[in-house]
Amino acid sequence: MEQQAGGRIQVQAQNDAWEPQAEQWSQRLDLPRHLPDADFTLQVSENGLQLQQLGADAPGPVRVDFVEGAVAHRRLYGGGSGQMIAKAVGVQPGVRPQVLDATAGLGKDAFVLASLGCDMSLIERQPIIAALLEDGLARAQGDPEVGAIVARMRLLKGNSIQVMQQWQGEAPQVIYLDPMFPHREKSALVKKEMRLFRPLVGDDMDAPALLAAALALASHRVVVKRPRKAPCIEGIKPSHALEGKSSRYDIYPKKALKPA
């Protein structure tokens, strides 16, 4: 298994009914079922696949849920096409760009754009996070409202730079990047996810190469999410940025997005 940072992981079922699924994930991800000194447990339960860090002060489990919770609240009350991310990728009347999210993570930003009508491709290179995302997308397919949204989300797995360099077919109009950085938001959920994922993923030290690959592939623009006060990614400079309270979107235009 490709593992970019520290973290020993075991796979467990929360009860006997989920043993077959736990065994399948164990084989797919090449992870042991029982590990005496494990740092994390990938749990299979009635709520789906979730990752639990072990230890006395470990945060609660993380899973992908597009139907309920924070993601659902954002879909219903988050501001629609007025959100900064929507403006950054070029959502406007008559324009719903085809977007490649090359740093998908748990798929939250991609889901927001899909809920606004964008066709989304998602790349996630960390196998455990990709598994959580795959499971969340599969569970959401059965929901009457959310199923139509996740149908616009296509998950790809692998190194984003390589996937973009070897891209087959029509190029995405917009490529969206959110490289891993030390989040400072006050949201407890963000803190929990960052605490959980940083030992597994580490920082994206290849962000300049990621940006270069995105600029070579995107037909219309590249958008990079950064902390509000952080420097731009090394390389070509963005033409402008949209700035919020804690983060900003650096925009690298190539061609104007126009209504079909």
DSSP helix/strand/coil, 218: coil
Query: Is 125 labeled as ligand-binding?
Result: yes
Dump the DSSP string for 120-162. EEEEE-SHHHHHHHHHHHHHHTTSTTHHHHHTTEEEEES-HHH
What is the C-alpha to C-alpha distance for residues 85 and 77, in angstroms, rounded to an integer?
Answer: 15
134 is in an annotated binding site: no
Residues facing residue 121 across a β-bridge: 100, 154
Residue 206 known to bind ligand = no
Sorted by sequence, the CB contacts under 8 Å of residue 252 that are 6+ apart come out as 211, 215, 221, 222, 223, 224, 236, 238, 239
The binding site for S-adenosyl-L-methionine comprises: 124-125, 178
Annotation: binding site: 124-125, 178
